[in-house]
């Protein structure tokens, strides 16, 4: 069982930056592939980014490539999502998620979820 707690969301103007954090706890928490998934109002959850347990492999959805960076610090059991050049269409609740033995690029692959943190980008 893995517990995930996100933080770092907020309100930012278009073009600004935010860094989301996800603190993981539980058995072998740092051995899981981690990801960020977002859900905008009235829309389905959407894959954003994923990182392997070692941090050596990352993947992003096309709309955030070059603007978002996912990273992890296994000594702190924490995953980060650095979001730069934010756009109004990035407005959503952002969820941290974990999965074991998966590619992580599809929402339904994830086994564990945090409670989410709201990101609002004003134009």
Gap between the Cα atoms of 93 and 101, Å rounded? 25
pLDDT digits (tens, 9 = 90+) for 29-83: 788 999 999 999 999 999 999 999 998 899 999 999 999 999 999 999 999 999 9
- Is residue 21 over pLDDT 90? yes
pLDDT digits (tens, 9 = 90+) for 83-111: 999 999 999 999 999 998 888 889 999 99
Number of Cβ within 10 Å of residue 118's Cβ equals 12
Q: Given this model, what pLDDT does residue 43 score?
A: 96
Give the 3-state secondary structure of residue 6.
Answer: strand
Pairing of strands 10-13, 117-122: parallel
Q: Given this model, what pLDDT does residue 30 score?
A: 81
Q: Which pair of tokens denotes residue 79?
A: 């995953």
């Amino acid at each position: 069982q893995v517990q995930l707690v996100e933080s770092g969301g907020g309100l930012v103007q278009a073009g600004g930056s935010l860094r989301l954090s996800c603190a993981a706890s539980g058995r072998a928490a740092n051995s899981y592939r981690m990801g960020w998934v977002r859900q905008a109002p009235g829309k389905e959850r959407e894959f954003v980014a994923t990182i392997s347990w070692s941090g050596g492999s990352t993947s992003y959805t096309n709309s955030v490539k070059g603007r978002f960076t996912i990273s992890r610090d296994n000594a702190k059991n924490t995953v980060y999502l650095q979001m730069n050049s934010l756009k109004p269409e990035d407005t959503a609740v952002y969820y941290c998620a974990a999965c074991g033995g998966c590619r992580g690029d599809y929402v339904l692959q994830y086994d564990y979820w945090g409670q989410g943190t709201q990101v609002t980008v004003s134009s």
